[in-house]
């Protein structure tokens, strides 16, 4: 990246950073002035302190959560892509599959999680499945929409060359669907941390979700906030990771038209 | 198609390059083509003009094998056309792929028809060099001007190496000055293209400037209203438009179009 654009980006991010600092200051001030007890609302400084003290513990439990979120996201990306392509290729698959995929989104995943735990135990698998359930649908829809948005004239052009359907798919339709697909991936990736935590709430022996349940029971409220901060940072990093992959593999999708 | 190999060769040699014979086509109950006859000799440049919506583009997709007529016959080299892939076709919009560089866009047709990527790119590169566009080879299409995009799209079509080029209003979206530039360019590269060309346009001047023969379609449902040989000196210069001969031919075309009586 050129230094100029980097500087420009910093300048553009400045209002958001200033607002955050201002909010943190107001929060700290309110907690001190009104003497709010720590188990109700700890101030940012108290949370930071606990965060530093428990950094080893937080890291230890952040790793399985991140692993579940990432594995679930990859699983969702694969199932979403495959189902999307299948729905696009075959009208029969669309009629058979699409209504059920939509219906599956109305199921409360929180209610399914205990069943998954009963079936698959306390290990990482049920959490990964919860994440997949949370994330695959936006990716399916993005794939279907992206493939459907192919310019019909482009398909005619490929036909006029005498290109096979397969060539047309891989040379024109699939790359053309990438802007949509990355939109779906960026949306889905923000869900995957939530999915992993919900999976852990229901039954686990490690992970940030597990730690949250424990800290809540023991009134370790500042550490609860620290855990939320870690989860949020995790979600943002995953989002930035997807954005980076998009920038590296398909830079043309980011160009303004 | 005759079975005898010698007869077969004779048919290919003496049959017109492209024939449309009594072609009828309706779409959604609307009659678009109503018995169109067209014959294009090998190496000829034919321009098709007509009122907008007359079915010029439809006629071209029939010649490209992208659609089949309801009745009538479309032939290439005396053999009925069964599907796309036998001729090179350039649609109205340039349809350059934003994820491919200029050279990769030019090689698209070759790659789509089974050439290896390396071979196709090398051919595309050589073509860009021959047409003086090599400095744009690595550029993304979004960075090109409209005129450049049209040149690249035309090159992509020509690189297929087929002996017939069908051009559907290739310069329709360009401003008047760029159009002139591209018309001059096309006159310049015509011999290089070494093909039979059918050009659809709504621009009477363009048709007269470029073509050996101009075919006028009537209003929908279309028939051939006039087939006019253009015997102007070649290679043509833009200045030909100011000659008496040109004005006379233009008058006849406008009359056939129903614009001047």
Nearest CA-CA partner of B234 in B169, B164, B186, B174: B186
Least Cα separation, residue A92 to chain B (angstroms):
26
What is the rounded distance in angstroms from the CA atom of residue B144 to the CA atom of residue B146? 7
Neighbour count for residue A228 (Cβ, 10 Å): 14
Task: Say how far residue A131 (Cα) sits from the centre of its chain.
Answer: 9
Q: What does DSSP say about strands B45-49 and B71-76: parallel, antiparallel, or unpaired?
A: unpaired
CA torsion angle for A154, A156, A160, A166 (degrees, to 10)? 80
Given pLDDT bands bounded at 50, 70 and 90, which one contains residue A1? very low
Neighbour count for residue B228 (Cβ, 10 Å): 18
Global pTM exceeds 0.90: no
What is the rounded distance in angstroms from the CA atom of residue A249 to the CA atom of residue B199? 39
CA-to-CA separations, B260 to B123, B215, B223, B253, in angstroms, rounded: 47, 17, 19, 9
In a domain, A120, yes or no: yes
CB contact under 8 A, B95 and A159: no
Residues in chain A closer than 8 A to B95 (CB atoms)? 151, 153-154, 157
Neighbour count for residue A24 (Cβ, 10 Å): 14
pLDDT (mean) for A209-231 = 94
Domains of chain A: total? 1
In the predicted structure, residue B1 carries a pLDDT above the cut 60: no
Q: Across the interface, which of A156, A161, A257 has its CB nearest the CB of B112?
A: A161
B84 interface with A at CB cutoff 8 Å: yes
In a domain, A30, yes or no: no
CATH number of the domain enclosing B77: 3.40.50.300
Query: What's residue A4's pLDDT?
Result: 63
What is the rounded distance in angstroms from the CA atom of residue B159 to the CA atom of residue B137? 15
In the predicted structure, residue B221 carries a pLDDT above the cut 50: yes
Mean pLDDT of chain B: 90
Domains of chain B: total? 1
Neighbour count for residue A97 (Cβ, 10 Å): 15
In three-state secondary structure terms, A39 is coil
In a domain, A257, yes or no: no
In the predicted structure, residue B2 carries a pLDDT above the cut 60: no
Name the burial class of residue B116, with classes exposed (0-12), middle (13-18) and buried (19+) by CB atoms within 10 angstroms of its CB. Answer: exposed
Q: What is the pLDDT of residues A109-142, one digit of tens each?
A: 888 889 998 999 888 999 999 999 999 999 999 9
Residues in chain B closer than 8 A to A172 (CB atoms)? 97
Q: Across the interface, which of B98, B113, B140 has its CB nearest the CB of A163?
A: B113
Q: Are B16 and B38 in contact (CB under 8 A)?
A: no
What is the rounded distance in angstroms from the CA atom of residue B171 to the CA atom of residue B181? 10
Residues in chain B closer than 8 A to A255 (CB atoms)? 98, 142
Nearest CA-CA partner of A109 in A198, A207, A203, A205: A198
In a domain, A8, yes or no: no
In the predicted structure, residue A146 carries a pLDDT above the cut 90: yes
* Share above pLDDT 90 across residues of chain A, in percent, rounded to a whole number: 82
Given pLDDT bands bounded at 50, 70 and 90, which one contains residue B8? low
Neighbour count for residue A198 (Cβ, 10 Å): 18
In the predicted structure, residue A163 carries a pLDDT above the cut 50: yes
What is the rounded distance in angstroms from the CA atom of residue A146 to the CA atom of residue B10? 50
Give the contacts of A19 (CB within 8 A, at least 6 positions apart).
Answer: none
What is the rounded distance in angstroms from the CA atom of residue B86 to the CA atom of residue B251? 36
**Of B84, B88, B140, which to mutate for an interface test with A (greatest number of A Cβ within 10 Å)?**
B84
* Share above pLDDT 70 across residues of chain A, in percent, rounded to a whole number: 98
CB contact under 8 A, A162 and B140: no
DSSP assignment of A213-236, as one string?
Answer: HHHHHTT-HHHHHHHHHHHHHHHH
Residue with tokens 């016959």: B73
- The arrangement of strands across the sheet holding B71-76 comes to B30-40, B18-27, B71-76, B79-80
Query: What's residue A33's pLDDT?
Result: 95
DSSP assignment of B151-188, as one string?
Answer: HHHHHHHHTT--SEEEEESTTTTS-HHHHHHHHHHHHH
Nearest CA-CA partner of A252 in B106, B100, B150, B95: B100
B85 interface with A at CB cutoff 8 Å: yes
Q: What is the pLDDT of residues B155-193, one digit of tens each?
A: 999 999 899 999 999 998 889 999 999 999 899 888 888
What is the rounded distance in angstroms from the CA atom of residue A145 to the CA atom of residue A10? 34
Least Cα separation, residue A105 to chain B (angstroms):
34
In three-state secondary structure terms, B198 is strand
In a domain, A14, yes or no: no
H or E stretch covering A179:
helix A174-202
B66 interface with A at CB cutoff 8 Å: yes
B112 interface with A at CB cutoff 8 Å: yes
In a domain, A147, yes or no: yes
CB contact under 8 A, B112 and A154: no
Q: What is the pLDDT of residues B222-249, one digit of tens each?
A: 999 999 999 888 778 888 888 999 999 9
Q: Across the interface, which of A162, A178, A250 has its CB nearest the CB of B85?
A: A162
CB contact under 8 A, B84 and A159: yes
B34 interface with A at CB cutoff 8 Å: no
CATH number of the domain enclosing A99: 1.10.3720.10
Q: What is the pLDDT of residues A68-77, one digit of tens each?
A: 999 999 999 9
pLDDT (mean) for B40-54 = 92
Least Cα separation, residue A129 to chain B (angstroms):
35
Residue B41 domain boundaries:
5-96+144-257
In a domain, B253, yes or no: yes
Residue of chain A with shortest Cα separation from B110: A161
What is the rounded distance in angstroms from the CA atom of residue A145 to the CA atom of residue B248? 54
In a domain, B68, yes or no: yes
Residues in chain A closer than 8 A to B65 (CB atoms)? 160
Report chain A residues touching chain B, CB-CB < 8 A. 151, 153-154, 156-163, 167-168, 171-172, 175-176, 178, 250, 252, 255, 257
Neighbour count for residue A167 (Cβ, 10 Å): 16
Query: What's residue A215's pLDDT?
Result: 94
Query: What's residue A209's pLDDT?
Result: 95
What is the rounded distance in angstroms from the CA atom of residue B67 to the CA atom of residue B65? 5
Residues in chain A closer than 8 A to B111 (CB atoms)? 167, 171
What is the rounded distance in angstroms from the CA atom of residue B184 to the CA atom of residue A145? 42
Beta bridge partners of B18: B40, B76
- The arrangement of strands across the sheet holding B164-168 comes to B88-90, B164-168, B196-200, B45-49, B213-217, B224-229
- Determine if residue B202 is left, alpha or beta; phi over 0 gives left, psi from -120 to 50 gives alpha, anything else beta: alpha
Mean pLDDT of chain A: 92
Backbone angles phi, psi at B50, to 5 degrees: 175, 165
In a domain, B105, yes or no: no
Task: Say how far residue B143 (Cα) sits from the centre of its chain.
Answer: 26
In three-state secondary structure terms, B33 is strand
DSSP assignment of A70-89, as one string?
Answer: HHHHHHHHHHHHHHHHHHHH
Give the range among A153-162, A242-251, B169-178 with minimum mean pLDDT: B169-178
In a domain, A116, yes or no: yes
Residue A180 domain boundaries:
41-250
Query: What's residue B63's pLDDT?
Result: 95
DSSP assignment of A102-124, as one string?
Answer: HHHTTS-HHHHHHHHHHHH-SSS
Q: Across the interface, which of A151, A161, A168 has its CB nearest the CB of B85?
A: A161
Q: Across the interface, which of A151, A167, A257 has its CB nearest the CB of B112?
A: A167
What is the rounded distance in angstroms from the CA atom of residue B3 to the CA atom of residue B18? 21
B111 interface with A at CB cutoff 8 Å: yes
What is the rounded distance in angstroms from the CA atom of residue A6 to the CA atom of residue A229? 26
Beta bridge partners of B91: none
Query: What's residue B142's pLDDT?
Result: 92
Given pLDDT bands bounded at 50, 70 and 90, which one contains residue A244? very high
H or E stretch covering B260:
none
Residues in chain B closer than 8 A to A178 (CB atoms)? 99
CB contact under 8 A, B99 and A175: yes
Residues in chain B closer than 8 A to A157 (CB atoms)? 89, 91, 95
Residues in chain A closer than 8 A to B173 (CB atoms)? none
Q: What is the pLDDT of residues A172-209, one digit of tens each?
A: 999 999 999 999 999 999 999 999 999 999 888 899 99
B73 interface with A at CB cutoff 8 Å: no
In a domain, A26, yes or no: no
């Amino acid at each position: 990246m050129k230094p100029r654009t980097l500087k420009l980006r910093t300048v553009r991010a400045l209002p958001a950073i200033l607002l955050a600092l201002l909010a943190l200051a107001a929060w700290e001030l309110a907690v001190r002035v009104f003497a709010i007890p720590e188990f109700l609302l700890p101030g940012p400084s108290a949370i930071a302190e606990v965060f530093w003290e428990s950094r080893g513990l937080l890291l230890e439990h952040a790793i399985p959560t991140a692993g579940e979120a990432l594995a679930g996201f990859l699983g969702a990306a694969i199932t979403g892509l495959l189902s999307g392509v299948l729905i696009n290729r075959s009208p029969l698959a669309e009629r058979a599959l699409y209504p059920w995929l939509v219906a599956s989104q109305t199921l409360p995943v929180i209610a399914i999680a205990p069943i998954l735990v009963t079936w698959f135990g306390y290990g990482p698998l049920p959490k990964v499945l919860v994440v997949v359930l949370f994330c695959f649908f936006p990716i399916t829809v993005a794939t279907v929409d992206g493939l459907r948005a192919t310019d019909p004239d482009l398909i005619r052009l490929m036909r006029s060359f005498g290109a096979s359907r397969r060539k047309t798919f891989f040379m024109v339709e699939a790359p053309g669907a990438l802007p949509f697909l990355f939109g779906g991936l960026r949306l889905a990736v923000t869900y995957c941390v939530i999915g992993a935590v919900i999976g852990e709430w229901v039954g686990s022996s490690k992970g940030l979700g597990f730690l949250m349940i424990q800290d809540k029971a023991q009134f370790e409220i500042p550490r609860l906030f620290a855990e939320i901060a870690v989860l949020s940072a995790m979600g943002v990093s995953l989002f930035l990771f997807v954005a980076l992959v998009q920038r590296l593999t398909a830079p043309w999708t980011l160009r303004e038209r | 198609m005759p079975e005898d190999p010698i007869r077969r060769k004779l048919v290919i040699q003496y049959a017109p390059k492209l024939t449309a014979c009594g072609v009828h086509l309706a779409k959604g109950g609307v009659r678009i083509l109503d018995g169109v006859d067209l014959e294009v000799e090998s190496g000829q440049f034919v321009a098709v003009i007509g009122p907008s919506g007359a079915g010029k583009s439809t006629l071209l997709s029939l010649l490209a094998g992208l659609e089949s007529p309801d009745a009538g016959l479309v032939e290439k080299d005396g053999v009925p056309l069964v599907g796309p892939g036998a001729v090179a076709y350039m649609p109205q919009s340039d349809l350059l792929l934003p994820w491919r560089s200029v050279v990769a866009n030019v090689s698209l047709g070759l790659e789509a028809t089974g050439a290896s990527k390396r071979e196709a790119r090398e051919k595309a590169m050589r073509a860009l060099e021959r047409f003086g566009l090599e400095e744009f080879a690595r550029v993304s299409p979004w960075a090109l001007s409209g005129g450049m995009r049209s040149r690249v799209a035309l090159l992509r079509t020509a690189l297929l190496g087929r002996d017939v080029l069908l051009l559907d209003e290739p310069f329709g979206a360009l401003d008047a000055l760029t159009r002139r530039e591209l018309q001059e360019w096309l006159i310049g590269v015509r011999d290089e293209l070494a093909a039979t060309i059918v050009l659809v346009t709504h621009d009477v001047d363009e048709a007269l400037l470029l073509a050996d023969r101009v075919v006028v379609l009537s209003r929908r449902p279309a028939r051939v209203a006039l087939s006019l040989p253009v015997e102007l000196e070649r290679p043509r210069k833009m200045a030909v438009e100011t000659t008496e001969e040109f004005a006379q031919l233009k008058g006849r075309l406008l009359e056939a179009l129903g614009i001047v009586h």
